[in-house]
Amino acid sequence: MTIKQVRVYSPGSIANLGPGFDVFGVALEGIGDIIVLEESPEPGVKIDVQGVGADKIPSDPEKNSSGAILNHVIEKYEPRHGFNVEIRKGIPPGTGMGSSGASAAATTVAVNEMLGLHLSDRELVKLAALGEGAVAGAPHADNVAASLLGGFILVGEDWDVIRLDAPRFGIVVVVPDIYIENKTKKARELLPQKIPLKDAVKNIMHASRMALAISQKDGKMFGSNINDRLVEPYRAAMIPNFWDVKQAALDAGAYGCSISGGGPSLFAVGDNIYDIGDAMQKAFGDIESTCYHTRPSNRGTRVI
Ligand code: HSE
């Protein structure tokens, strides 16, 4: 027996977290998307997008992360019905808070539930990453894995991920009011194919310490190692006032600050996240911005 309607919530996430490009992700508390998936007597996929930034999300299933997943499921599992999807956005798209990843994660869990597919975590990550890839240009699992499983994520080979419970620490995400079309694709194209060995060594050092900090439940050690030489210097050019905003966060007491996912928002880790967020917003100068005060969420995507 199939289920006619499933509602699923999926949290937003921060990917990379400084030195962990395409490997680290953390799910966020209090910000997420809802997907309502329904059986349809019509074949194919019909998408309706509502909520924050809905006008920026294509409802064409070929160009939408949920649509890409459902088209793939139709081809592979041949259900006797089509799908209507309502995407209720709580995460602003194109900002670096894992918006397309959360919608992809929610759709994956919803269709798994509706069709009784019994997919493993690894298969869920793979299917959700396929949806993410449809909008980002290349499948990557850091956002979708964090949204799916919650907590702190270390992406491995072939969609294998390690998930750790994250300790409680403050996170502020400041989103400048600028919109970059096809942002993740562009942000990935900015990255060099070759990197200096000394930069790779620094990233390995900081990333290792961040993973250790999670297992030792040490938010200060985690934040103090947010240092990235591989991605941040190249992507900073996409973000107006980036270096001033980062410095303002550190001056206000942040343990660390970097680009949130593919940007253009910045995240900072610290105790006094309200002061840090205010200082970052001021440093954006004339550019309007929105502040999200949050913390890691150890709960991932769930049926509601
Ligand atoms: N790891 C990805 C990137 C996250 O930085 O390109 C953005 O979706």
Question: pLDDT band for position 139 (50/70/90)?
Answer: confident
Closest CA to 275 of 254, 259, 296, 247: 254
3-state secondary structure of 33: strand
Of 165, 196, 211, the residue that ends a domain is: 165
Residue 182 pLDDT: 81
- Report the chain's terminal Cα–Cα distance, integer Å: 20
Write the CB contacts of 78 (distance below 8 Å, at least 6 apart in sequence): none
For the segment 25-31, the average pLDDT, to the nearest whole number, is: 98
- pLDDT(162) > 80: yes
Same domain, 161 and 186: no
Query: Which of the listed residues 114, 142, 165 is the one where a domain comes to its end?
Result: 165
**Residue of 8, 10, 44 lying closest to 27 (CA atoms):** 10
Q: How far is the CA of 235 from the centre of ligand 1 (A)?
A: 11
Answer yes or no: do 160 and 68 share one domain. yes
**Residue of the CA atom closest to atom 6 of ligand 1:** 262
Question: Scanning the structure block, which residue is given the tokens 């309607």?
Answer: 5
114: pLDDT strictly greater than 60: yes
Say if residue 16 is in the same domain as residue 156. yes
The domain tally of the chain equals 2
Taking residues 167-196, report their average pLDDT. Answer: 92
Structural domain that includes position 139: 5-165
Q: Cβ(165)–Cβ(31) under 8 Å? A: no
Task: Kindly report which listed range (112-126, 171-185, 206-220, 245-259) carries the lowest average pLDDT score.
Answer: 171-185
| CA dist list (Å): 278 to 51, 172, 283, 290 | 26, 10, 9, 10
Q: How many helices (H) and strands (E) does the chain have?
A: 10, 11
Look at residue 286 and tell me if it is in a domain.
yes
**Catalytic annotation present for 184:** yes
- Pair (187, 160) in one structural domain: no
Ligand 1 pocket test: pick from 14, 22, 91, 239 the residue with the most ligand atoms within 8 Å of its Cβ. 22
Cα of 144 to ligand 1 centre, how many Å?
11
Q: Whose CA is nearest to atom 4 of ligand 1?
A: 261
| In a shared domain, residues 135 and 247 | no
Of 14, 142, 230, the residue with max ligand 1 atoms within 8 A of its CB, to mutate for a pocket test, comes to 142
